[in-house]
Amino acid sequence: MKVLVINCGSSSLKYQLINPTTEEVFAIGLCDRIGIHGSKFEYEVPATDFELELEHDMPTHKEALELVLNTLTGEHGVIADINEVDAIGHRIVHGGEEFTTSVLVDEKVIAGIKANNELAPLHNPANLLGVTTCMELISGKPNVVVFDTAFHQTMPAKAFMYPLPYADYKELKVRKYGFHGTSHKFVAGLANDLLGNPEKSKIVICHLGNGASISAVKDGKSVDTSMGLTPLQGLMMGTRCGDIDPAAVLFIKAKRNLTDKEIDARMNKQSGILGVFEKSSDCRDLEIARAAGDERAELAIDMMTYRIRAYIASYAAAMGGVDMICFTGGIGENSNLIRSKSLEGLEFMGVELDQAANIERKKGSVKLSTETSKVAIYKIQTNEELVIARDTLAIVK
């Protein structure tokens, strides 16, 4: 079985050709700066370590996908013919309330995705473009869409509702949806395997990257998550502010005479780590500056980890305890400092971090808790593409 996984952004297209049963990745790559000067194409074959990187004009996603398909079947290709691709799996950011699971694409599904465009205007149209382009260029093959929001649709109303006038929910569908669902689903599955009792488990998953979210997963189901109607709610992130008093936003908007678009950009693209540190939104730069004595870097890290710690504790309270805390994502998997500071002060919950294990760099699933810790702590390498491939296989087989 070969599934082509497509993650289509507004100016990018990430892809993998993968066997969801054996987990073998045949090829992986990226089309970047689509429709922008200096378009770049990347292609890698893990089995042979062959890598290709070149500048190539890609005016639209159609040309980008054509380049992908030609490379997969070309001189350094991994398949002889495009018909060897059995199905295509796509990431869609927002499924609203309509889509609670991954589904096979048809005209009704396409219409449903379009209906949710206003909930994710930067992501859904680009995601859908990947679907329609594949349907055009690889006709006759099944396409499956996997939603970032789907895993969190098991949240109870007390968790996903906002205390706004009820009409705003009924008429406008304003509520918490949550994101990073494929990552949280993958990590939750591995965590339950490690615990050995998925039907009776309480797990807090910290997906920490430039975008970051935390979820509470009880008995294998998401019961709460930090992101909301949009990915802006929750943790302090690379450029997003996270939780903030809405009145502060109105105050800043009025005082600085900003438009709606300008205040939106201020919260989404100019805040978070970048807003406090001012020099970079990259956590690696932040840690280097902190080590050199930069006080603003110290403040940003303290703010970020304080919020992570508060969410971990609140979700443990919401679930009536916690069996495991998992760290994943670019920062969660690689920053021992952020992991350590995020767990400081949680000893009252029985959380004991093995500092030596935390510092050691290892890939895969790594236990970070001491033998006497009442709560298991793990670093788990996420694999969202594998989740998309598995869901695709489950639907088309």
On whether the CB atoms of residues 41 and 56 are closer than 8 A, the answer is: yes
148 is catalytic: yes
Please choose, from the candidates 46, 43, 10, 145, the residue with its C-alpha nearest in 3D space to the C-alpha of residue 89: 145
DSSP annotation of 72 reads H
Cα dihedral 62, 68, 72, 73 sign: positive
Structure tokens at 194: 């490690």
Please choose, from the candidates 30, 25, 34, the residue with its C-alpha nearest in 3D space to the C-alpha of residue 3: 25
On whether the CB atoms of residues 272 and 281 are closer than 8 A, the answer is: yes
On whether the CB atoms of residues 149 and 93 are closer than 8 A, the answer is: yes
Maximal CA-CA distance, the chain: 62
Cα(320)–Cα(202) distance, integer angstroms: 8
Question: Tokens 């639907």, residue?
Answer: 395
Alpha-carbon torsion angle 164, 169, 174, 178, nearest 10 = 100
Could you give phi then psi for residue 377, rounded to 5 degrees?
-125, 130
Question: Tokens 């199905």, residue?
Answer: 87
Cα(331)–Cα(329) distance, integer angstroms: 6
Strand 324-328 with 202-208, pairing: parallel
On whether the CB atoms of residues 149 and 178 are closer than 8 A, the answer is: yes
Structure tokens at 19: 């066997």
Question: Tokens 């033998």, residue?
Answer: 371
Cα(201)–Cα(199) distance, integer angstroms: 6
Q: Which of 148, 224, 323, 391 does the annotation list as catalytic? A: 148
Please choose, from the candidates 159, 161, 215, the residue with its C-alpha nearest in 3D space to the C-alpha of residue 184: 215
Catalytic residue set: 148
